[in-house]
Amino acid sequence: MALPLSSSSIILSSKKLSFNVSISRKSTQKHLLLSAHFAFRPNEARSQVTARPAVRACNSAPSTYAKDLTCEHNFPPNWYVSIFGDGTKKLKSLIAMILIFMQISAPVPLSGWDFWYVSPAKAVLYSPDTKVPRTGELALRKAIPANINMKSIQTSLEDISYLLRIPQRKPYGTMEGNVKKALKIAKDEKDSILASIPADLKETGSTLYASLIDGKGGLQALLQCIKDQDPDKVSVGLASSLDTIAELELLQAPGLSFLLPQQYLKYPRLTGRGTVEFTIEKVDGSTFSPEAGGEPKKNAKIQVVIDGFSAPLTAGNFVKMVVDGAYNGAKLSFTDQAVLTDNGLDKNSGYSVPLEIMPSGQFEPLYRTTLSVQDGELPVLPLSVYGAVAMAHSEVSEDFSAPYQFFFYLYDKRNAGLGGLSFDEGQFSVFGYTTTGREILSQIKSGDIIQSAKLVEDQEFLICQVYASSVLFCIKARLS
């Protein structure tokens, strides 16, 4: 028979921590009381820490009831409890268990015992999903292989975006320190920052640098917004500064910062950034909902930035098919989680590129290998972003991406796993993000088609292709 818990108490003072538990079993004639007591003095040296065990068995009747009960429950005649603190970690665990026990047995407020309490602000900051970019723009910015000083400036400013999530009182002092740190790096390392920009782009780089320091959306202006303690202005100023930083970093980016494995040199590859514009057409007579002040239209445009810095083979194969017109007229299917193209089996175009994922903190992609998110492996280009663009798996092997079929991922945190991550995170080759027309994705229906797909903007790209003659042919062009 289980013994009911009758009382518990805990006392904290500067010299002594004590815990008393008494367990009683009452009957009309007999009463048994087992009590345990220990004392711990935290201010004494470890060698002087003492535990005073004492057990009292009280039998209120002259019978052998206590002896019988002791045997029945396997209690030894003398029950000694000794607890020794072995370091801070064990002590914290012990006290935490005591507190839980107390709250269960007597749920009363524990005044002053709040050092385990994690504030909502810290809960936000230390949430697992803060490690993963939540917008395509942020993910693309983090993926640029740029000058180390620019990355330090970027990191300082991006920390502010997390601080802005803190509810109620914002830590403006910390934000101000971050901006001042970024300003110091920018000014002290000006020569190094500008030296990383190619000679033919130096003038553009110098203009962007000046804008970053003293421009309307620069660091000085951001510092003033923080001093004014206006979170809306800080958010706008921060976005402007980060956009300028991204433009500078793209000028600095040298192309691929790693060597491709020899066996993959036969595939097309993209060594920088490109923008693809899709024109989506309704085929059932319906229209896309208009933007503010617009009219319903049968066609809508979506722009996707393709990243070759982190997924050169996947992006290169995709760009090649766009240039070849392979996606013009492609049919789309809509599901709760994605907008998917047809499998393209009738087109016979593209390569079955190996699965390609760049892990965060690494300098080159992994091939034919998925990531274990449960073990802390996260990709540079996460899938857990609304509008992420990735290749489907090959029908032959999940170690390879499909040669043609891709999808727009419709991330929804309500259907995500621990930390707000997609259950498929780290399983697909993500190679870009929807940056314009994200609101169109949810309006696409099965049967709608890609009327056209083309490369746009004035952006340099490099595609290499090995032809049957085994001659390496590279196309380098500036698109307009």
> Torsions phi, psi of 134, nearest 5?
-105, 0
C-alpha count within 13 angstroms, C-beta hemisphere, residue 50: 8
Return the CATH fold of 146-252. Four Helix Bundle (Hemerythrin (Met), subunit A) (1.20.120)
Residue 327 scores a pLDDT above 60: yes
* pLDDT value of residue 56: 44
Helix (H) or strand (E) holding 452: strand 449-456
* pLDDT value of residue 304: 96
Spell out the SS3 assignment of 338-354: EEEECCCCCCCCCCCCE
- Span of 65-69, 189-193, 333-337, 377-381 with lowest mean pLDDT: 65-69
Kindly state the percentage of the chain with pLDDT values over 90.
Answer: 46
Residue 409 scores a pLDDT above 50: yes
**281-318: pLDDT as tens digits:** 998 889 998 776 678 889 999 999 999 999 999 999 99
State the maximum Cα–Cα separation within the chain, in Å, rounded to a whole number.
105
- Structure pTM? 0.69
**139-178: pLDDT as tens digits:** 999 999 888 999 999 999 999 988 888 887 889 999 999 9
Report DSSP state, residue 303: E
* pLDDT value of residue 74: 53
Which of 123, 128, 147 has its CA nearest to residue 418?
128
Give the mean model confidence (pLDDT) for residues 237-264.
90
> Torsions phi, psi of 278, nearest 5?
-105, 135
Given the structure tokens 């206590």, which residue do they identify? 66
* pLDDT value of residue 458: 47
- Residue 474 and residue 464 in contact, taking contact as beta carbons nearer than 8 Å: yes
* pLDDT value of residue 457: 67
Q: What is the mean pLDDT of the chain?
A: 76
Which of 451, 473, 433 has its CA nearest to residue 274?
433
* pLDDT value of residue 400: 93
* pLDDT value of residue 293: 63
Residue 239 scores a pLDDT above 80: yes
- Residue 56 and residue 79 in contact, taking contact as beta carbons nearer than 8 Å: no
Residue with the bigger pLDDT between 358 and 146: it is: 358
Residue 38 scores a pLDDT above 60: no
Residue with the bigger pLDDT between 161 and 121: it is: 161
pLDDT-derived band at 88, boundaries 50, 70, 90? low
Question: Which residues does residue 307 pair with via DSSP β-bridges, in sequence order?
Answer: 273
Q: How far apart are CA 301 and CA 438, in angstroms?
A: 10
* Domain spans in the chain, listed from the N-terminal domain onward: 146-252, 262-477
Give the mean model confidence (pLDDT) for residues 10-22.
41
Residue with the bigger pLDDT between 374 and 321: it is: 321
- Residue 4 and residue 24 in contact, taking contact as beta carbons nearer than 8 Å: yes
Other C-beta atoms within 10 Å of 340: how many?
Answer: 18
Give the mean model confidence (pLDDT) for residues 276-285.
93
Residue with the bigger pLDDT between 480 and 286: it is: 286
* pLDDT value of residue 104: 57
CATH number of 262-477: 2.40.100.10
